[in-house]
């Protein structure tokens, strides 16, 4: 068994058994008393857009809306420390940005033949389509500067700027494609053998699902998973890049998909659902590794990430994606990232802030 598969097996043992990533940090501070307390802005949690059953029995994605607020609690009248997950709503995707890790906590996208420009009915014109050679990585100025990932963080880090939502998923307009190059959609990924190869094959597989299913929902989730050290204890260890160290390097990445299509031509309003999750280590993966080797229960990903992606109703009514279609990547080495213009531009140092 290769080291890649060993890591996957370790995730199964740790996450499924309840030994996933969890940390509780508590501290006590004596507040400074003020005669006139400042106005405290609302700080809210941003939940993932849960897939739930719609009124007609099909899957529907909930709106991205903050829930809960501590603003009115007397104990926090002098300030609410957070945490804050910045909601990001783009043309091709929605996401929540993790200020502590300085990369997305999760991203969500809805793929169809039309959105990918592959529909014969509504094919986009050349003027409307996006061209990745015209896009460039940029910092996301909508994120507060102290918590913003910077171009300098990735320079000579040894990691690629890995898209969580691929540029190829946003070809319907140049603006949509440009938004995938914002650093709020990026996480550090191993280049050779992963971001430029197997991860790209998985992204392509997600797009190819639109040839079989009418709707494809894709969630991408960076993960920090434990591994057992020689002393028998489980620990989460990861690198942090940047000067000063700012951007966390995930140990694994998950792709979680939900697909739907009419159960039959005679019952177009009755949808057949399929779901599946794949967890890949942030490391080189051989081209010949079978995709099904990385299958994990959706619940294991949810537990490890602290997210709820699908409702119980969706889980109960869906079959596994690998029973609904072939879970097999296509190796396309001709698309090697070393030939891509944006990676050639990455050789130059970014300007100093």
Cβ atoms < 10 Å from Cβ of 267 = 10
pLDDT of residue 163: 98
Question: Which string of DSSP letters, residue by residue, matches 4-67?
Answer: HHHHHHHHHHHHHTT--S---------PPP-SSPPPPPP--B-----EEE-TTSSEEEPP---B
Please check whether residue 38 is in contact with residue 78, taking contact to mean a CB–CB distance below 8 angstroms. Answer: yes
Q: What percent of the chain has pLDDT over 90?
A: 63
Name the active-site residue from 163, 197, 252, 320: 163
Question: Which string of DSSP letters, residue by residue, matches 199-222?
Answer: HHHHHHHHHHGGGT-SEEEEEEEE
**Which residue, 253, 160, 257, 162, is CA-closest to 207?**
257
Whether 103 is a known active-site residue: answer no
Tokens of 253: 């990445």
From CA 251, how far away is CA 285, in angstroms rounded? 14
pLDDT of residue 42: 40
Asked if pLDDT for residue 122 goes beyond 60, the answer is no
From CA 271, how far away is CA 264, in angstroms rounded? 8
In the chain the domains, ranked by start, together with CATH numbers, are 91-345 (3.40.570.10)
**Which residue, 251, 249, 252, is CA-closest to 159?**
249
pLDDT of residue 118: 80
Please check whether residue 148 is in contact with residue 183, taking contact to mean a CB–CB distance below 8 angstroms. Answer: yes
Q: In this predicted model, what pLDDT tens digit does every residue of 222-258 receive, in sequence order?
A: 999 999 999 999 999 999 999 999 999 999 999 999 9
| Lowest mean pLDDT segment, chosen from 51-65, 117-131, 183-197, 208-222 | 51-65
Tokens of 24: 């509780």
Pairing, β 240-241 against β 247-248: antiparallel
Asked if pLDDT for residue 63 goes beyond 50, the answer is yes
Residue 157: φ, ψ to 5°: -80, -20
Q: Please compute the mean of the pLDDT values over residues 322-345 and round it to a whole number.
A: 72
Q: In this predicted model, what pLDDT tens digit does every residue of 35-48 receive, in sequence order?
A: 343 343 444 455 66
Please check whether residue 302 is in contact with residue 309, taking contact to mean a CB–CB distance below 8 angstroms. Answer: yes
282 annotated as a binding-site residue = no
Asked if pLDDT for residue 113 goes beyond 80, the answer is yes
pTM for the predicted model, two decimal places:
0.80
Q: Please compute the mean of the pLDDT values over residues 130-159 and round it to a whole number.
A: 96
């Amino acid at each position: 068994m290769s080291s890649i598969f060993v890591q996957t097996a370790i995730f199964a043992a740790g996450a499924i058994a309840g030994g996933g990533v969890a940390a509780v940090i508590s501290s006590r501070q004596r507040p400074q008393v003020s005669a006139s307390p400042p106005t405290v802005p609302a700080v809210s949690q941003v939940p993932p857009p849960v897939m739930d059953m719609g009124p007609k029995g099909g899957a529907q994605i909930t709106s991205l809306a903050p829930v809960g607020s501590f603003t009115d609690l007397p104990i926090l009248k002098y300030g609410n420390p957070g945490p804050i997950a910045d909601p990001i709503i783009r043309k091709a995707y929605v996401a929540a940005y993790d200020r502590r890790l300085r990369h997305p906590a999760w991203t969500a996208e809805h793929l169809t033949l039309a959105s990918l420009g592959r529909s014969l009915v509504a094919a986009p014109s050349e003027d409307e389509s996006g061209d990745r050679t015209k896009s460039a990585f940029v910092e996301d100025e909508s994120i507060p500067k102290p918590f913003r990932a910077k171009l300098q963080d990735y320079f000579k880090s040894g990691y690629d700027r890995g898209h969580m939502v691929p540029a190829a998923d946003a070809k319907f307009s140049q603006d949509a494609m440009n938004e995938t190059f914002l650093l709020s959609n990026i996480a550090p990924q191993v280049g050779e053998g992963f971001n430029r190869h197997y991860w790209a094959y998985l992204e392509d597989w997600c797009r190819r699902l639109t040839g079989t299913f009418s709707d494809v929902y894709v969630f991408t989730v960076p993960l920090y998973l434990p591994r057992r050290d020689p002393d028998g204890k489980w620990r989460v260890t990861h690198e942090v890049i940047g000067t000063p160290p700012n951007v966390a390097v995930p140990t694994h990445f998950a792709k979680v998909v939900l697909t739907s299509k009419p159960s039959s031509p005679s019952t177009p309003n009755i949808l057949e659902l399929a779901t599946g999750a794949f967890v890949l280590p942030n490391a080189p993966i051989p081209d010949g590794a079978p995709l099904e080797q990385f299958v994990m229960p959706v619940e294991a990903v949810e537990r490890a990430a602290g997210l709820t992606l699908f409702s119980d109703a969706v889980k109960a009514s869906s079959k596994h994606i690998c029973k609904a279609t072939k879970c097999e990547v296509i190796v396309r080495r001709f698309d090697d990232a070393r030939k891509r213009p944006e990676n050639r531009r990455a050789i130059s140092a970014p300007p100093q802030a």
